Chain A
Amino acid sequence: MAQGQVECPVECREVCADMNKIPFVEFRNIYKIYKMGDSEVRALDGVSFSVFEGEFVAIIGQSGSGKSTCMNIIGCLDVPTEGTYLLKGTDVSKLTDDEQAEIRNKTLGFIFQQYNLLPKLNILENVKLPLMYKGLKESEQNKRAMEALERVGIADKYHHKPSQLSGGQQQRASIARALAGAPSVILADEPTGALDSKTSAEVIDFLIDLNMQGNTIILITHDNFIAARAKRVIRIHDGKIIYDGVAANDTIIRQTLLSQKEGEA
């Protein structure tokens, strides 16, 4: 496969694991344009970047910046108006709906802001869903789902309904669901948006742990403190990337952290 090597931004050279590998996620000049009557909204206005195996990338931006559109395209839930999106080297736009479903099932694990657990199923059944769609045997589904629940530390709650758990526990369950299928990339869309700061910190700690263990994580957030904990930050503003590099070098993050220190001092 003729794989165009994408130049990694200078600032992130040190975090890119292996330049010669095929990136897990590759955006090539992606546009997403919504037509609203006569005017058009450019949610993504020519975005290019790559994410390699083992990275922990935070895509940050204010609401309306285009970060959610970015996440939807990465998650194969939406298709770009123009440009090419390669997931592990496969051009997603050329796949049928069912092939996209399969690639979501095999390569991606979603963590949503609102957890998106099915309220009528218990935690174990929720975690088993992606495994069921994978077509695994019932016994294998149970085994893997319980393993995932143990990793997030709520194995004892497996028979509870989502509504019987706290927000933090529900988010853990949704992390377990994302982990169960052993995906290449974990996509977390504002995973702490509905949680208090203490639980948020726990969830982020947990994601960092997962990254240490070798999982590739893409985190979507509007929160500079959360983004600061990622290795690499991609800042999106008005549909364009305005910064892509190590988190500590992002001016806004630096200012935010500084002002926080001053506040403490």
Chain B
Amino acid sequence: MKLTKTIHMAFGSIMSNKLRSFLTMLGIIIGVGAVIILVSIMDGVTGQITDAFESFGMNNITVSITSRGSTRYVEPEDMYEVLDENPDLFTYCTPNVTLQANLKSQTSSESERVSVTGIDETYDKINTLVTEQGRFLQFVDIDKMMKVCVIGTYYEREYFGRGEALGKTLKINGEPFTVVGVLEEKTDSTENSSDQCIYIPYTVASKMSWNRTIGSYTITMTDANKVQRAKAVLERKLTKILGSSNFYRITATQEILDELNTILDTMKMALVCIAGISLLVGGIGIMNIMLVTVTERTKEIGIRKSLGAKKRSILTQFVVEAATVSGAGGILGILFGAVVSALAGKLLDITIIPSFFAVMLAFSVSVAIGIIFGFLPAKNAANLNPIDALRFE
């Protein structure tokens, strides 16, 4: 007997008892739906986190110098030297000097406490910043310790108004800085967003800081996959300069992201397992209803056996019927899951696309559940004694 014929027959018997079939499927629908929704949302969240990290620069390595105030410190020249020696590993390097400073415009009397970052001219390339108006900091600004700054749109709007900032002056700790560039809006120009930023030459910044040293460096690699080698090269150099590996810390964005992804994946698996429990319950529901079906159709089984149906034919018929119920439930569950994840995506404002993998997995698992849980009832049916089955009323 052909499988297509058997499936066709199975559909016939599902359709002849729609309400019962639907209720049987419900467990599978909810289970499959839950798996798809959870996997999709987790994928969406992971994607969003990855995107956020990528905007920091996936190839970035941050070197933090922790030996502040000691007699040994790392000069920018040391770092540039490492870069020049390893052109296959590194592309750019910028010192980072972060200061808490009082900021005010020339005209206002009140100042605010803000964070100012001292950098070099490669910073915009490392962090993929785009200068919308004017220019970014240049080598000459760094070299000549020019009192210039590049600001984000938050300060542009707060102090000057749109497009009014270029050439104007901001006072940082009382010293006047000329605005030479305004960055492209990254988020929405509000306070505490990434648009609230102010960059000055690191040479100026370090002179303004309390210990006149450089706290950290950001370095870009040619390739994120070379992170282990890059770290080794940096460690060797830094240990040589600082005398101990305790005085610095190297963090690669890629590594943080990897760790985060591991945590998220574990979380995803845990959630899928919980959703899997409802699939199990759905499977038991199918087994239950198939046992009832076999009892109800004992007479039919007897007739089929009297006409020459072998055990295998009966077994196949009932296993296929169970698999068809659960497979149909799986398809409905996939649709249900897709719709709900799309809605959740809208609600949470993240991009959610049900993965092909999740859909295929959910469908195969649901069919497998039908086969596994349909097997026992089908075996009962196949083993019925023909005369007892035929006489059953």
Q: Which A residues have a C-beta under 8 Å from some C-beta of B?
A: 72, 75, 77-78, 97-98, 101-102, 104-106, 110, 116, 118, 120, 129-130, 132-135, 138, 177, 181
Band of interface residues on B: 20 to 34
Question: Within the complex, what minimum Cβ distance (angstroms) separates B3 from chain A?
Answer: 13
CA distance A185 to B319 in the complex (A): 33
Q: Which B residues have a C-beta under 8 Å from some C-beta of A?
A: 1-2, 5, 12-13, 16, 299-300, 303-313, 386-387, 390
Asked if B312 and A98 sit within 8 Å, CB to CB, the answer is yes
Asked if A129 and B310 sit within 8 Å, CB to CB, the answer is no
Which chain A positions have C-beta within 8 A of B308? 101-102, 104-106, 130, 133-134, 181
Which chain A positions have C-beta within 8 A of B304? 118, 129, 133
CA distance A138 to B303 in the complex (A): 21
Which chain B positions have C-beta within 8 A of A98? 310-312
Asked if A110 and B306 sit within 8 Å, CB to CB, the answer is yes
- Specify which of B16, B303, B387 is in contact with A72 (CB 8 Å cutoff): B387
List the 3 closest A-B pairs by CB distance, nearest first: A105-B308, A77-B387, A133-B308
CA distance A183 to B1 in the complex (A): 20
Question: Within the complex, what minimum Cβ distance (angstroms) separates B350 from chain A?
Answer: 48
- Specify which of B1, B13, B386 is in contact with A133 (CB 8 Å cutoff): B1
CA distance A120 to B297 in the complex (A): 11
- Specify which of A77, A106, A133 is in contact with B313 (CB 8 Å cutoff): A133
CA distance A104 to B310 in the complex (A): 10
CA distance A97 to B305 in the complex (A): 10
Which chain A positions have C-beta within 8 A of B312? 98
CA distance A98 to B13 in the complex (A): 25
Asked if B307 and A133 sit within 8 Å, CB to CB, the answer is yes
Given A98-B312, A120-B12, A120-B13: A75 and B306 interface contact (C-beta under 8 Å):
yes
Given A77-B386, A77-B390: A101 and B309 interface contact (C-beta under 8 Å):
yes
Complex: chain B residue closest to A69, CB-CB? B387
Question: Within the complex, what minimum Cβ distance (angstroms) separates A233 from chain B?
Answer: 25
17 A–B contact pairs at CB < 8 A? A72-B387, A75-B306, A98-B312, A101-B309, A101-B310, A102-B308, A102-B310, A104-B306, A110-B307, A118-B303, A120-B13, A120-B16, A130-B307, A132-B5, A133-B307, A133-B310, A138-B5
Which chain B positions have C-beta within 8 A of A106? 308
Which chain A positions have C-beta within 8 A of B1? 132-133, 135
CA distance A177 to B304 in the complex (A): 12
Which chain B positions have C-beta within 8 A of A120? 12-13, 16
Which chain B positions have C-beta within 8 A of A105? 307-308
Which chain B positions have C-beta within 8 A of A138? 2, 5
CA distance A75 to B300 in the complex (A): 17
Asked if B307 and A129 sit within 8 Å, CB to CB, the answer is yes
Complex: chain A residue closest to B303, CB-CB? A116
Question: Within the complex, what minimum Cβ distance (angstroms) separates B381 from chain A?
Answer: 13
Which chain B positions have C-beta within 8 A of A72? 387
Complex: chain B residue closest to A105, CB-CB? B308
CA distance A132 to B16 in the complex (A): 22
A-B contact sample (5 more), CB < 8 A, given A77-B386, A133-B313: A97-B311, A116-B303, A118-B303, A133-B307, A133-B308
Which chain A positions have C-beta within 8 A of B390? 77, 116
CA distance A110 to B299 in the complex (A): 15
Complex: chain A residue closest to B13, CB-CB? A120
CA distance A23 to B304 in the complex (A): 27
Question: Within the complex, what minimum Cβ distance (angstroms) separates B137 from chain A?
Answer: 80
Which chain A positions have C-beta within 8 A of B306? 75, 77, 104, 110, 116
Which chain A positions have C-beta within 8 A of B311? 97-98, 101
Question: Within the complex, what minimum Cβ distance (angstroms) separates A74 from chain B?
Answer: 12
Which chain A positions have C-beta within 8 A of B300? 118
CA distance A134 to B13 in the complex (A): 23
Which chain B positions have C-beta within 8 A of A134? 308
CA distance A55 to B5 in the complex (A): 38
Question: Within the complex, what minimum Cβ distance (angstroms) separates B359 from chain A?
Answer: 33
CA distance A134 to B312 in the complex (A): 13
Question: Within the complex, what minimum Cβ distance (angstroms) separates B294 from chain A?
Answer: 15
CA distance A120 to B312 in the complex (A): 22
Complex: chain B residue closest to A100, CB-CB? B386
Which chain B positions have C-beta within 8 A of A75? 306
Question: Within the complex, what minimum Cβ distance (angstroms) separates A194 from chain B?
Answer: 14
Which chain A positions have C-beta within 8 A of B310? 97-98, 101-102, 133
Complex: chain A residue closest to B15, CB-CB? A120
CA distance A118 to B390 in the complex (A): 12
Complex: chain A residue closest to B382, CB-CB? A97
CA distance A218 to B305 in the complex (A): 20
Question: Within the complex, what minimum Cβ distance (angstroms) separates B298 from chain A?
Answer: 13
